[in-house]
Structure 1
Amino acid sequence: MEIVIYVVLASFTLSACSERINYTGYAVKRITPKTESQLAALKQLENIGALFWKEPSARGRPADVLLPPNLQGEMVNILKAMGSTVENLIENIQVLIDNEESAAKRTGQFGWTAYSSFEEINAFLLEQHEKHPNYTRLFSIGKSFEGRDLLVFKISRGSKPKKSIWLDANIHAREWITSAVATFTINELLNGERTGWTRDFDWYILSILNPDGFVYTKTNNRLWRKTRSTGLRCIGADANRNFGFHWMESGSSNNPCSETYGGKSAFSELETQALRDYIPSISKHLVGYISLHSYSQLILLPYGHSNKHIPQYDTYMDLGHRIAQATATRYQTMYTTGNIVDLLYAASGGSMDWVKGTHNINLTLTFELRDTGRYGFLLPPTEIIPTAEEFLDGLEVIVQSLRDGIITPDFKEH
């Protein structure tokens, strides 16, 4: 086993040093541990270089693991010998990456038939603001580590403040589908069939919360997850483990090289500081907070540090089930609702938990968008519009519930 550990670590370290990582032959395996000892062994794979797309969390619950070509046979044989179930999800992820790039080159402009660049998304936001100057604002709530603006697009009809809904995306850099859905939502609120939603609510949409990481996925490493802040050993932190609510309690790593590294301290990242400093200014009117992630097709409720259920849990679960029913209507895409820990794994320090626990916002949800693992983070561009449409079908249930007052304020927990 010591030889295997050395080879795994060397392989991933060399890949991380290249200018632009080529993932030819890299495969994603779904591994399901059946015993506690198998689970413990699976969790150790990250320490020797494996990259988890879906983290191991419990017996009988699968984890998705990215492995380089020279280790797949040996590693899989070891895991099978231990008794874990191993399933092939993606044989060669570079094929999917190449398909994304080909679609972008064919399109050559902003839209939802290909994934857009940081510059194209910002140009779209500016264009929409200039097209609708009387009831939109485009403003920065702060700078990223590398100096990029965190641009919020606000839609507000009328002179008086209304109840507000916040939507953010791409806190994890590689989750491209999230910013595509965010911009699609902006377009629908301004130019599509959902303009009526802006009469009852003000909307704040932050399409790219982690711009440095997002740009890095375009130029160097398609599967980068974290921010790009400098560290002594490794780059970046997991921004969705960096918020100051039960920070670093569970499901976060103190290893700076881990993909779930919670940072040097709570709010160590400029990107999370920007939300920390801006959200209080609108919290008086904020009734809904939605964070977009991928993948798994889940509607997640707080909290990530504990499986203790929030007040009015049954009401929120009922709402989640109705959202899931709505998202399934158009394309029969099935979403599952529940507490983060119950459905995935412990993950303290998340943005949703901080908004709920610190500011007591009525409704806080995380959407894990398509799919369930066939493509994972490399969802084909052909699925952008269907994913966005079904998300909006679910969002309609949220809007109507907030209109009707079904979700009411509850007490603040610490």
Structure 2
Amino acid sequence: MDILQDLEKRGLIQQTTDHEGLKKHLETNQVSLYCGFDPTADSLHIGHLVPLIMLKRFQLAGHKPIALVGGGTGMIGDPSGRSTERSLNTTETVQYYADSLKKQINKILEVENIESSVKVRNNHDWLGKLTFIDVLRDIGKHFSINYMLAKESVSARIEQGLSFTEFSYMLLQSLDYMKLYEEENVTLQIGGSDQWGNITAGMELIRRARENQDEEIKVYGLTVPLITKADGTKFGKTAGGAIWLDPEKTTPYEFYQFWINTDDRDVIKFIKYFTFLNEEEIAQLESEVTNHPENRVAQRRLAEEMTKLVHSEEALAQAKKITEALFSGDFKKLSASDIEQGFKDVPTFETSKEDIGLVDLLVNAKISSSKRQAREDISNGAVYINGERQQDIQYTVTEEDRIEEKFTIIRRGKKKYFLISFN
């Protein structure tokens, strides 16, 4: 199966320029292609995963992908898909963000691997050297105002207002395509559906800038669809905010849980989008969703594949260990690191490493409202220490109840967890 056919079967193609021409181009050449990632934060989020994984799919099909970090365009801000203008970050902030994104991309695309055909480049290398006159003479002269106004990324913002800065973004991204065409023989740009206008503008610049040269210009564009969820909510967002690829911002356990909680209506679509499972495996998982949805086999497989890809086998093992402990209530096998991940959002009370009566601890940590209530909770069997019920109102919490000398997990009732942190 060729790469385009595989992408079509997975529902990963929104638009292409000259579909048949691109199909033939990919069949007869080792194609260099790229996708851009502007550094608007110090981490990518899961919304970036589809284009990133697309690059990996092309790599596995024998082509030469380039991930372009927008250290230059990130200084401006892309108006595509936005109703308001981005705030401008400092040069130092954008550079820090760009360096952070490069590390994440390197890891996911395995750029460090000697056999890897992937490159990571930064468009600040050429955009940072441009003068305003260079932009006007070498890029601006190839675009009419009418052409730019017709682009959706511009027309959608005209009524609300669009600064000249954001209006000019298209010119800079167009230059990216031309530079990579010249320096890396890139003939295909991919991106999200909101990037169609920028991609086609880049193709136009290449053609116009080189129309008097004796060479056949074949460049293409491909976009992936906007990811939507069956319940109408935005993909990649939770009550706690975005799902980041940085483990310091979204722990591997939280990342794993995000995929585990995928709706039955979405899980097969997401498996097609995000994983490299073949048609036969996907069909088996689809059968499981239809016939045994309560087992959540497809969700577990999706969570495993994604956690391995973005983090590691070790991070996946830890996420599954925490998940099992929370399901069973047996916390004694958890390490302090496990607890920090799994109980990140649980109410936490810090105290000294001293023996303390359970009644006093419940009151001090505001787990129970009073000593009388604490004694009632204990005697009624509503209090658990590290997963074990404790009904002795005279019980003293000691060193033996501290996991790695750092934590004690208190549960009150069926689902109310509290973390005691010993300093």
Q: Same fold (TM over 0.5)?
A: no
Larger relative CO (CA 8 A, sep 6+): 1 or 2?
A: 1
TM-score, structure 2 length as denominator? 0.23
More helix per residue: 2
Highest CA radius of gyration, 1 or 2? 2
